[in-house]
Amino acid sequence: MSKQKRISDYVKIGKLPSGELNKITDVKGIRVGHSTIKNEDNRTGVTVILPSEKNMFTNKFEAASFVLNGYGKSVGLIQIDELGLLEAPIALTNTLNVGKVLDAMIEYEIELSAKEDEAIRSISIPVMECNDSDINNIRNRAVSKEHVFEAIENACVDFEEGDVGGGTGMKCHGLKGGIGSASRVIELDGKKYTVGVLVQSNHGYCDDLHIDGKKIGKRILEEAEQAELSEKGSIIVIVATDIPMSSRQIRRILKRVDVGLIRNGSYTTHGSGEVFLGFSTANVHPKDETPFYNATYLNDDYINPVFLAVGEATEEAVLNSMITANQAKTLKGKTIHSLSEYADILEKEFKS
């Protein structure tokens, strides 16, 4: 994969250091895969996040979700919040393909567990969505089982960002949106830990776009009146960490995702669904018959750096989703520009 130009090529977001790739996959064991559909009628796809190299149904992670604004159609979150456990990979797609993607993910999990002589009778699989109907003919429901399995097969550590997979048909702050990621490294008790974020961005007004505190959206509108002002979309945010955290603590850090969104100029409008899912890879809950688990959890008095890391990584992940995405056209023929097309503005603001 050729190196994509990211927001860090223009400006450093926040003060914490990033991981090696500055992606969610800096948390060891995580892989991300896409299947992208681009043809005359459809610009859509599916992204799958594999949190572990093991079968998660028999090796569960502590997890939680947080819904800031519930204008969304995600599935699989109720059990996560009840039990505090993630037992399957996570899929991101468009609104009308949630059911088809869920069906394919169930089939994948049945086949995977059968290889281990594990008979699945019930499983909670998170499938999350944003609406890409401005760019994609969503009623075609173009994502099939084959695309889901392709995304899983394509899963890797150094994955592509932008208008790929579930982010193919997305818009963000009036420009092209999509899949973006970032990570932060913090030190706790003399050991380094990673917080990683992946977003599917489809929200925000161009006029409100801020980058590192500067009103870049207004500058773009001064030069390009064709940038969209409307906001109809949503954002899905996945937060992962290798810090030992309970589901209660994961839910707490998810509430800080909005810090990053606000820094970029979002204020969570009526029609924008902000749905967040987080997990920790530190404490694995295997399927066994023991009555008690032995687990280590972070002392809440030391959680502030994690809050900061989540806010910074979210802020940068959204910007990465925009600057790595290519220009697209709506079904009505209107051009949706990429943030990368305004690199001269970024150069002038941050490198002068």
Instruction: Provide the terminal-to-terminal Cα distance of the chain, rounded to the nearest Å.
Output: 31
Is 234 marked active-site? yes
Q: Are 311 and 82 in contact (CB under 8 A)?
A: no
- The active-site residue out of 272, 280, 321, 338 is 272
Written as six digits, the tokens of 301 are: 């008095």
Determine the 3-state secondary structure of 215 from DSSP: coil
CA distances from 130 to 69, 96, 170, 218 (A): 13, 9, 8, 25
Whether 113 is a known active-site residue: answer no
Q: How far apart are CA 228 and CA 7, in angstroms?
A: 21
| 181 is known as an active-site residue | no
Strands (E), 51-190: 59-69, 85-86, 90-94, 127-130, 171-172, 175-176, 179-188
Q: What whole-number distance in Å separates Cα of residue 172 and Cα of residue 178?
A: 8
Task: Determine which one of 274, 315, 316, 341 is catalytic.
Answer: 274
CA distances 1 to 45, 248, 328, Å, are 19, 38, 21
Q: Which of 234, 266, 280, 340 is catalytic?
A: 234
Residue keyed to tokens 């505190």: 213
Taking alpha carbons only, the member of 309, 326, 223, 317 closest to residue 264 is: 317
- Scan for tokens 């979002």, then name that residue: 266
Maximum CA extent, the chain: 64
Active site positions, annotated: 234, 272, 274
